[in-house]
Amino acid sequence: MKKETVAKLLMILVLAVAVVMTSPKKESTNQASKSKKLIKIGILQLTEHPALDAAKQGFIDGLAANGFVEGKNIQIDFLNAQADQSNLKVMSGRLVSEESDLILAIATPAAQALANETKKIPILTTAVTDLVGAKLAKSNEKPGTNVSGTSDMSPIKEQVALLKQLVPNAKTIGFLYNSSEDNSKLQVEIAEKSAKELGYSTKSMTVTNTNDVAQTMEVLAAQVDALYIPTDNTLASAMATVGKIAKEKKIPVITGESNMTMEGGLATVGIDYYKLGQQTAKMAVQVLSKKVKVQNLPVQTQSDPQVVINKMMAEVLGITVPNELKSALKEGK
């Protein structure tokens, strides 16, 4: 065989090997480049119940509506702590170690766990009543930390006044909440003050977990004419139990938000957690687009709470709904 032919064959063989060896690297490089383009967003949720689930979905849908779509330009890592403090710590550490570009904390304990893990990664909260009281922000106007977001502070005075409209003959109002939830304590303090201003007597009882709800509810229901339950995560998870006893004892329950009303309460002037999640997403877009730093982003609240009345519960309790409130009737449990 001629030397020229051998040289050509060797050259072809070398080129073929080079193509085989370099092709996977090129594909791997392209995949890595594509992966780098994805913005990492972590979501840490305290526990599972309708209000918090709605806030999460509103956030994800709100991001998508603003061009931040999962799998396209963002990567979402969603973790649910199932109301376990040790889970919150471990999961917070994971989201921080993954170097998330932004983290959403749903409920106060989740926000506090994340804030303990990082002072650099932007954290937005939702379903947190009082960011300043929870030591997450220095002020609502200018947080001054890596944490801001939306507050779910309810229009408590209006909620107590709604009870007066629906149950005008009530004399004593009971308050039921988890003593370890600071947000619940704050809301009950405001509600008790409002109730006393309207001439009600008040009585409070607390629980520490969902296992306490049935027995405590039974005891309290025997001593009051109506109940007020704030946006308390423990009670929100046990509203089916609350509703069952409320029907048996004929006790109207005013709740802190509409999902709780639909699950076993009578009525509320409540915020919409899905809309609150969407509102938080708009804040996230500002941070991710580098338009504002989270420490300068004011805490926001929902401005249009709506009256919601559980039609089934009103019928079971024999409550006549005033004509001006009948448009608020909705089918609940």
H, E, C per residue of the chain = CCHHHHHHHHHHHHHHHHHHHHHHHHHHHHHHHHHHHCEEEEEEECCCCHHHHHHHHHHHHHHHHCCCCECCCEEEEEEECCCCHHHHHHHHHHHHHCCCCEEEEECHHHHHHHHHHCCCCCEEEEEECCCCCCCCCCCCCCCCCCEEEEECCCCHHHHHHHHHHHCCCCCEEEEEEECCCHHHHHHHHHHHHHHHHCCCEEEEEEECCHHHHHHHHHHHHCCCCEEEECCCHHHHHCHHHHHHHHHHHCCCEEECCHHHHHHHCCEEEECCHHHHHHHHHHHHHHHHCCCCCHHHCCCEECCCCEEEEEHHHHHHHCCCCCHHHHHHEECCC
Give residue 111's identity as a one-letter amino acid code: A
Q: Which one-letter amino acid corresponds to residue 247?
A: K
Q: Where are the domains of the chain?
A: 38-152+272-301, 156-270+306-330
CATH numeric code, 38-152+272-301: 3.40.50.2300
Burial of 7 (0-12, 13-18, 19+ CB in 10 A): exposed
Q: What are phi and psi of 310, to 5 degrees?
A: -75, 105
Q: What is the pLDDT of residues 78-112, one digit of tens each?
A: 999 999 999 999 999 999 999 999 999 999 999 99
Buried b (16+ CB within 10 A) or exposed e, 9-40: eeeeeeeeeeeeeeeeeeeeeeeeeeeeeeeb
The total of other beta-carbon atoms located within 10 Å of residue 73's CB is 13
Per-residue confidence (pLDDT) for residue 11, from 0 to 100: 53
**Whole-number Å distance between alpha carbons of 59 and 47:** 16
Reference 309, options 262, 271, 247; nearest CA is 262
What is the Rg, in whole angstroms, of the alpha carbon atoms belonging to the chain? 26
Q: What is the mean pLDDT of each run of 10 residues along the chain (333 residues)?
A: 49 46 44 63 95 96 97 96 95 96 97 97 96 96 98 93 94 95 92 96 96 96 96 93 96 94 94 94 96 96 90 95 93 84
Class of domain 156-270+306-330: alpha beta
Residue 176 sits at φ, ψ, to 5 deg, of: -125, 125
Same fold, 38-152+272-301 and 156-270+306-330: yes
* Confidence at residue 271, expressed as pLDDT on a 0 to 100 scale: 86
- Cα(220)–Cα(257) distance, integer angstroms: 21
